[in-house]
A and B are shown apart, each in its own frame.
Chain A
Amino acid sequence: MTALKYIIKFLGIALIVYVFAMVCMVPLGPGLNSISKIENHDTHTELEINGFATNFNKSPNSIRAFLVSSDSVITQECFDVNVIDNNNIKLKVTLPDTANSNSWIVRVNSIDNGWLVMNPEFIKLPKHKGVSTNTGIATEDLDPKSIHAKTENFHFPFLPRIIESIRNLPLHVPMWFTMFVLMAIAFVASIKVLNLNKIDTRQDLIAKSATKVGLLFGFLGLITGSLWARGAWLSWWVWEDPQLNGALVTVFVYLGYIILRKSSDNESSTPRIAAVYTIFAFIILFILLMIMPRFTESLHPGKSGNPAFSKYDLTNSLRTVFYPSVIGWIIIGLWMYRITLRYEIIKEKVQRKLEH
């Protein structure tokens, strides 16, 4: 039994070390960042496209670029592709005046980068008369497998605006998972406190220490989330956002638990009062974090529909870091809770000795 305990603890530490190493070391995949310049000419339009972590210089002749209208009716190949440097290319395009779309998907292909896609940009590109669409390109040609499909090495996906801060995903989300696990422990212990007729100090202490450690993870979740928001949304906190406020209120609710315990002057009834509050708080936590975000608009990924991260399209590379991270943090959280529990029990015993 003790051997198993040590193995689990070691596993937790190993997983966290692995996660931190991966988060710091894995490179980001190539992607298209933005259209940095648009120049209009009589016969064509010149675009400058800025990429991230791309490698255009290596095989400049293999680059082909396409503009696809967002309703994917028109596909137009760009010509005169010029490489400025590793991250910037210049290309020319003529768009037919029959096109009535104002948003275009940019797709760039090369041997060293494979397919790069930039999602619809709402740009007004001038259209030219008498231009026919490239009838030679069928949409099947734009299938990633058909032209140069790069054998991918291990990297995190490039997401516009999030860019490097994607590394925060395996550090931010598991905090809330761990908090949920610890609060569930406190919830179960509180039910036990209420169900027993005699006062059960141990269950009460379990609820108390689980809530304390869970609160710590809640704070960590808020801090990592706030840092991430600074990176991705350019603001430390978005006050109109229901998901963010729900998280903040949850932490306040559990802070209320600590205050309640401190301000209760009736020793014998404190466990029962605290248990009632914990059960109530857990239900509110569930409403705030799991149910409310489904009904409201939010900037947070998974807006209106799913509070988690379906939008992220977790790639395999992220999964190999994310799941170990969840398991690792939960193990560390439970370990911290066990230590806190032992401390609380000893404190209780000492207090009782002092009273006698």
Chain B
Amino acid sequence: MRKVLYMVRHHIKMDLRSNHNIMSLVVFALASTYTAFQVLQGRPDPNTWNAIALIVLIFTAFNSAARVLPEDMSSVRSYMHWTVPPKVMIVARTLHQSFIMSSLSCLLLLALGFFMGLAEMSNENIAGFLLGMVLTSVGLSAALTLISALSARAGAGYGLTAVLGLPLTIPIVLISTEFGTDMVSGRMLSSSIHNLYYLGGLSVSISIFGYILFPYLWRS
């Protein structure tokens, strides 16, 4: 556990040290929201709003997962291989990725609210939507961390992550779009809460499989 926390802290430190990585994600999210705002000229209808929010979230997650982490480079990897157990590695990477994506989704919601309003949702719905976005980003992070490690090991880059990742993340996307539609159309949070349970369950099960499978990838 202490090792995991140390690794997460290490990852964040690395991110802060070369902050163009994080900044590129922030700029990506803001720029796409702004572009949508420019095209739509003001306040879109709730479904469009929902679509924009989820599209930007998913593409940000893909961009974030496709970053080249230092331990994917062969020189650093052989060092890490002897110092960090693979299970610690995958947990730390998933946590770090989830943390970044969750904070980005909060930022994204702020940006959306600033540019395009909040689709006339009630406070409860906004909270629910944010919760849905955070859970979605956790699920996406869990799946994409494994996929990006896989494609890094295969020696292919961003393209392979996208090709392998998009179909695999479809279950998460389906549930979160359904939940998002419920929220923007003003349904009670309690009547749609089962979608949040499904999202949580999916994230947890994907993380567990990542935890089991990653050591085999790490070994060489």
Contact = CB atoms under 8 A, between A and B. Distances in A.
Given A256-B164, A263-B156, A272-B216, A292 B171 contact: yes
A277 B174 CA distance: 21
Contacts of A272: 216-217, 219
Interface residues of A, number: 30
Interface stretch (B6-14, B116-124, B146-154): B146-154
A274 B106 CA distance: 36
Contacts of B153: 266, 269, 273
Contacts of A259: 160, 163-164
A259 B159 CA distance: 11
B168 A276 contact: no
Interface string A143-172: 000000000000000000000000000000
A273 B167 contact: no
Highest count of chain A CB atoms <10 Å: which of B156, B164, B219: B164
Contacts of B205: 283
26 contacts: A194-B213, A194-B216, A242-B174, A245-B174, A249-B167, A249-B170, A252-B166, A256-B168, A259-B163, A259-B164, A260-B151, A260-B160, A263-B160, A264-B154, A264-B156, A265-B155, A270-B154, A272-B219, A273-B153, A281-B168, A283-B205, A283-B209, A284-B168, A284-B171, A287-B171, A288-B171
B198 interface: yes
A10 interface: no
Given A245-B170, A256-B167, A277-B164, 11 more contacts: A242-B174, A253-B168, A263-B154, A263-B155, A264-B154, A265-B156, A266-B154, A272-B219, A276-B146, A280-B213, A288-B171
Nearest to B216: A194
Nearest to B166: A252
B202 to A, nearest CB: 8
B220 interface: yes
Interface string A266-299: 1011101101110111011001100010010000
A125 B76 CA distance: 80
Contacts of B160: 259-260, 263
Contacts of B151: 260
Contacts of B163: 256, 259
B216 A260 contact: no
B154 A280 contact: no
Contacts of B164: 256, 259-260, 277
Nearest to A263: B156
Given A259-B160, A280-B209, A275 B216 contact: yes
Contacts of A292: 171, 174
Interface in B127-175: 146, 150-151, 153-156, 160, 163-164, 166-168, 170-171, 174
A44 to B, nearest CB: 48
Contacts, number: 75
Interface string B182-220: 000000000000000010001001000100010011011
B150 A273 contact: yes
Contacts of A283: 205, 209
Contacts of A256: 163-164, 167-168
Nearest to B160: A263
Interface centre among B167, B219, B220 (most CB of A within 10 A): B167
Nearest to A253: B167
A67 B170 CA distance: 48
A279 B168 contact: no
Contacts of A288: 170-171
Contacts of B167: 249, 252-253, 256, 284
A276 B150 CA distance: 8
| Among B154, B160, B198, B209, residue most surrounded by chain A Cβ atoms (within 10 Å) | B154
Interface in A287-323: 287-288, 292, 295
A252 B163 CA distance: 9
A277 B150 contact: yes
A194 B170 CA distance: 26
B156 A280 contact: no
Contacts of A273: 150, 153-154, 217
B213 A295 contact: no
A256 B162 CA distance: 10
A10 B150 CA distance: 42
A272 B166 CA distance: 21
A159 B194 CA distance: 35
Interface string B57-92: 000000000000000000000000000000000000
A272 B168 CA distance: 19
A260 B171 contact: no
Given A256-B163, A292-B171, A295-B198, A276 B154 contact: no
A265 B209 contact: no
Nearest to B155: A265
Nearest to A274: B154
A348 to B, nearest CB: 19
Contacts of A194: 213, 216
Contacts of B156: 263-265
A288 B163 CA distance: 18
A265 B156 CA distance: 8
A264 B171 contact: no
Contacts of B170: 245, 249, 288
